Structure 1
Amino acid sequence: MRHRAAITRQLRSAKAHIKSLLLYHGIKIPAEHDNPNWTKAFINWLKEVKWCSITGKLCLESKLRVYEFIHTEYLQLANELRAHCRKHHKKDYYLLKSIPGIGGYLAAALLPNLGILGVLVTR
């Protein structure tokens, strides 16, 4: 969980670097893309931005490669955490997921913090 939190911080940092590069070059993000959740459409828009200089384009391409790598790692870690919980803590994991508002990742995050694995399921 700590490693995923570190990856999450790196992902936020990569996004901030890309946004600051755009701001530095005076490129405005369209309103439909200006939110914390980056869609595939936004990534495609970033890849199609017209640049006045080749250096700006090369810099953005590099930053996008870093972002995509970190994003892939972020998704992979979440999948591995959920799979581990489904395999080793199945009853408690699904019991937590049955609570409205608690999904797979949050259930996986709660399990080690509860400190009472195996006690959640009432007999």
Structure 2
Amino acid sequence: MAERRVVDHRGRTVVLIDSVAQVTGEDAGRIVVTGSHGGVSAADYAKAVRAALYVFNDAGIGRDEAGVAGLAMLDAAGIAACAVGHTTARIGDAADALENGIVSRANALATAAGFVPGVALGTAIAHALVG
């Protein structure tokens, strides 16, 4: 069963959802860490709720960068989004992404907010210019 919880992370409110399909309207304006891949189908769910930031798993990037293709879609929709490396956090486990994830990809909006490749997700959230 996919887990959903709201946590305090270094003074920031963070929504942890193991699947982006669990996003709800109450998540608008919040930092949302998912365990989902960052592909097109995930972006379709994310576009429905304007979070301050979405975090996905890069799922190994994949052919034609399918594992992170949704990041550009969200950028075009005005939503910051990034992905953590699949070797740093388990796919489908948002808590692991927050605890151990290292940013591997970010759209322009997320990059401007401090989510850059190589930075630990927890650190980036603590110093983020979003949420």
Would you call these one fold, judging by a TM-score over 0.5? no
Shorter-chain TM-score range? under 0.3
Q: Which has the higher strand share?
A: 2
Point out which structure has higher relative CO (alpha carbons under 8 A, 6+ apart). 1
TM score, norm. by length of structure 2: 0.26
Higher helix share: 1
The structure with the larger Rg is 1
